[in-house]
Amino acid sequence: MQRSRSGFTLIELVIVIVVGSILTSIALTQISGAQGRVAVKGARTTYAAVQARARAHGIEMGQNVLFHVDSTGDSIWIEHDGNVLEKILFRSERNVDIRISPTGAPTSFMHCFSPRGYTDVTCNSNSSILRIEFWQTSDSSTLISLPMGQLVLE
Q: What is the CATH number of the domain that holds 116?
A: 3.55.40.10
Number of structural domains, the chain? 1
Q: Which residues, listed in sequence order, are joined to residue 75 by a DSSP beta bridge?
A: 70, 89
Separation between Cα atoms, residue 6 and residue 60, nearest integer Å: 76
Is residue 71, in this structure, part of any structural domain at all?
yes
The boundaries of the domain holding residue 63 are 10-153
Is residue 144, in this structure, part of any structural domain at all?
yes
Is residue 38, in this structure, part of any structural domain at all?
yes
Is residue 20, in this structure, part of any structural domain at all?
yes
What residues of the chain score a pLDDT lower than 70? 1-3
Question: Is the pTM for the entire model greater than 0.85?
Answer: no
Instruction: Give which of 101, 146, 97, 100 is closest to 124, Cα–Cα.
Output: 146
Is residue 4, in this structure, part of any structural domain at all?
no
What would the DSSP string read from start to end of the chain? -PPPP-S--HHHHHHHHHHHHHHHHHHHHHHHHHHHHHHHHHHHHHHHHHHHHHHHHHHHHTS-EEEEEETTTTEEEEEETTEEEEEEEHHHHH--EEEEESTT--SEEEEEE-TTSSB-TTT-S--S-EEEEEEETTEEEEEEE-TTS-EEE-
Question: Is the C-alpha dihedral spanning 75, 78, 83, 86 positive or negative?
Answer: negative
